[in-house]
Amino acid sequence: MRLARPLSPAEFGLTAHEYERIRECLGREPNRLELGMFGVLWSEHCSYKHSKPLLRRLPTSGKFVLQGPGENAGAVHIGDGLAAVMKMESHNHPSAVEPLQGAATGVGGILRDIFTMGARPIALMDALCFGSPSHPRTDHLLSGVVSGIAFYGNCVGVPTVGGSVTFDPSYNGNPLVNVLCLGVVDSERIISSRASGVGNPVLLVGSATGRDGIAGASFASAELNADSEEQRPAVQVGNPFLEKLLIEACLELVGDDGVVAMQDLGAAGLTGATTEMVTHDGLGMDVDISQVSRRERGMTADEVMLSESQERMLIVARRGEEERIQRIFERWGLRSDVIGHITDSGLVRILDGEQVLAELPANFLSGGTPEYAPPPVSSPASANGHAAEPPFRPPANLSETLLEMMELPNICSRRSIFEQYDHMVQINTVVPPGSGSAVLRVKGTSRGLALGLGDGGAAGLVNPRLGGALAVAEACRNVACAGATPVALTDCLNFGDPERASVWTTMAEAVEGIREACLALDVPVISGNVSLYNESEGAPIRPTPMIGVVGVLDDVERHAASTIEPGQVLWLLGPATGGLARSQYAMELQGWPGGEPVNLDLDLEKRVQTCARDLISAGTVRGAIDVTEGGLAVALAELAAVSIVGIDAADFRGPSAAERSDATLFGEAPSRIIVAAGAEAAGLVESEGVKHDIPITRLGVAGGDVITIGAAISVTVAAVRERWLGGLERMSDLVGGDHAS
């Protein structure tokens, strides 16, 4: 007789300690299916076992908050009886292995998080990080990811209205694909994922279940290595046309008394969705997998429960209403199967007809994971350090330096990327990609919504707490540049292996920085995601806390874009100079990273943002841009390039004659915004600066076809546009689409 091979916890991504914890709770040995269910739900991707203690530090409540973390997405009041629903998620590991499908299904997953709440998705944004442009895989990964986002978003009919693309060698083997989605819903009709009602039927709706994406949550909770290419089955395959039908069918059910709860099938598939729906109130669920429609023959119980096939939803219907609800889905051409019902047992029971295959306590399965906090290591540098003196002199030809800056990978135009996205579908887009922060109208009202993104940048490498705070400040500043008031934040925290004490400490510092900035800027965290084990070749990615912020405009007509018009006067709100340490100029052109970047004064940051917002909402300012990568000269050149209008700032001299010219022109610092207004508004702009107690500097006047900055720079707008617009194409034709498969 042949004995069955003993089950190994490691095979399911579980430690020996976790396995013993499971045995003790169950009072018996778990079987293979049960261990598989524990393996995915106790994975880092689902359980957040290394990050939960840190996330509890974040502020999650506020006067506008309707739903904070804990549901599929967060929600905030935006006025007129409406709510904005927002969430950001990552699809990093799948995109590294299969860039097109990895990115596409990342879009599909975040859309489901939004319409599961009853909200219509109205906008997508993406935050992408890739390795060095010279790395042999960067071309393949970038073109594939961009193609995947365009394919899914364009087909499903939700506009991609903005985003960011960062290049850094630390992402060579592990790109980041973070996607944000924003939706709008009647604030009284938000749908919960929380099941109730013993005896209520459970419907599985949408695509049939296949073998794609099996144990994808476990795959996302391990470091990528040389064998990762063999894990392509862990990458899901998306169908945006089916998702469009699913969106419309589910939104038809918003406010329907026959619907009790709704949950999408994302990470951990049926295992995750069934458990999450009943983990509260001591409820349970019986699931009969024989009733699950499948698109492949011979699927085992493990495969059915762990599959992450896309475009699937679970709906708890009120008993007696299930057939009516099924007819609605049938009218949309969608299958729906009654696969189980709610119980009061507190157990998730998996059956195959009459045979019980698994029987597990729902609360323990969902929330019994141990929490981990590695011993802290010496804290990274404090935010009060000072940069070392640069070991180089300012270049003799600063005009040529500006042209070189405009084609750097992290500064040049992203036009060849965002032109692949349909940003006008649904006709809500007011400010399109490439013209400033995304602004959308809220149909049926006079209101608008603005979206902003931020990350810690290179500062996070030397000071992760500062990096976390900078990410929040930048995202809020983007929103302020549109004239909107930030009301809520979503985050995607991308770090390396949390079992390394150094990585965990870095993450803890970054979260603390996010917390400090959220409190100072009065922006609560309503949703988010943590993506760990982002490593390759034994080294972690640089700390990347990605932040998305939504802001509200009471009057969408009173907004600003990053454009200027001839005759307008330009002012700088905030400090007149920046630091060279960790700047794009110093790192990329001079090969010197330096020490500590310029510190963030959160009180000054708030005053600068408020001043800009007040000027825009009053109608005084219609053009605004924040000064970030590349410093003041690059921000002015970008305004000129977008608007095809020159800038005469010949009288600008900077803060003092003793200041280095390159620091004045290319130094980087937070809390800086350039605004443009009519010459007649000079008194109003300057009085607002005094009112908010911020530095304010007159820069010059828009007009002509030359950009002149002091006595140091004089270049034509045409020359700037040629370098800036062609930067990506010169990097080996990165976004041509030839390598998208």
> Catalytic positions, please?
45, 91
Q: Going by C-beta distance under 8 Å and a sequence separation of 6 or more, which residues neighbour residue 327?
A: none
Q: At what angle do helices 322-331 and 240-252 cross, to 10 degrees?
A: 140
How many Å separate Cα 339 from the centre of its chain? 33
Residue 79 CB burial class (10 angstroms; 0-12, 13-18, ≥19): middle
The CA–CA distances, whole Å, from 338 to 204, 253, 564, 617, 735 equal 6, 17, 58, 52, 45
How far is residue 467's CA from residue 543's CA, in Å, rounded to a whole number? Answer: 8
Taking every pair of C-alpha atoms in the chain, what is the biggest distance, in angstroms? 94
Residue at token pair 């099941």: 195
Residue at token pair 């005896």: 199
How far is residue 614's CA from residue 621's CA, in Å, rounded to a whole number? Answer: 9
How far is residue 260's CA from residue 243's CA, in Å, rounded to a whole number? Answer: 21
Radius of gyration of the chain (CA): 26
Nearest to 517 by CA among 436, 599, 616: 599
Q: Are 96 and 571 in contact (CB under 8 A)?
A: no
How far is residue 663's CA from residue 583's CA, in Å, rounded to a whole number? Answer: 10
The one-character DSSP state at 705 is: S
Q: Are 511 and 456 in contact (CB under 8 A)?
A: no
How far is residue 712's CA from residue 402's CA, in Å, rounded to a whole number? Answer: 10
One-letter identity of residue 633: A
Please give the sequence-ordered ranges of beta strands (E in DSSP) within 380-537, or none if there are none: 429-431, 438-441, 448-454, 485-494, 525-531, 535-536
Phi and psi at residue 91, in whole multiples of 5°?
Answer: -140, 55
The CA–CA distances, whole Å, from 323 to 146, 259, 320, 328 equal 41, 12, 7, 9
How far is residue 214's CA from residue 738's CA, in Å, rounded to a whole number? Answer: 29
Q: Give the strand pairing for 673-677 and 621-626.
A: antiparallel
Nearest to 240 by CA among 408, 422, 368, 80: 422
How far is residue 21's CA from residue 47's CA, in Å, rounded to a whole number? Answer: 15
One-letter identity of residue 439: V
Residue 219 CB burial class (10 angstroms; 0-12, 13-18, ≥19): buried
How far is residue 302's CA from residue 308's CA, in Å, rounded to a whole number? Answer: 12
